[in-house]
Amino acid sequence: MSMKNCPKCGTEVHFDDDICHACGTNVPIVVPWPAYLIGGFLVVVLVFWAVDWTYWADYFSRL
């Protein structure tokens, strides 16, 4: 799926282009929802990876 249709004239537009070459209509780039899911997942993984868990385990064991 690398092409999308212009909402005004129906011409096929490459998914990377945001303007229809036939009529000049602005065609918004469609971001598929799994991309948000993967992006959010990567952020969570990055946070878990960045946190020093041995420090927090030590901190809470002293309470």
Q: Contact positions toward Zn ion, by CB under 5 A?
A: 6, 8-9, 11, 20, 22-23, 25
For residue 27, the minimal CB distance to Zn ion (Å) is 7
Minimum CB distance to Zn ion smaller for 9 or for 46 = 9
In the complex, minimum distance from the CB of residue 33 to Zn ion, in angstroms, rounded to a whole number? 25
**β-pair partners for 12:** 5
Which one, 24 or 40, has the nearer CB to Zn ion? Answer: 24
CA distance 36 to 51: 23
- The phi and psi torsions of 29 (rounded to 5 degrees) equal -70, 125
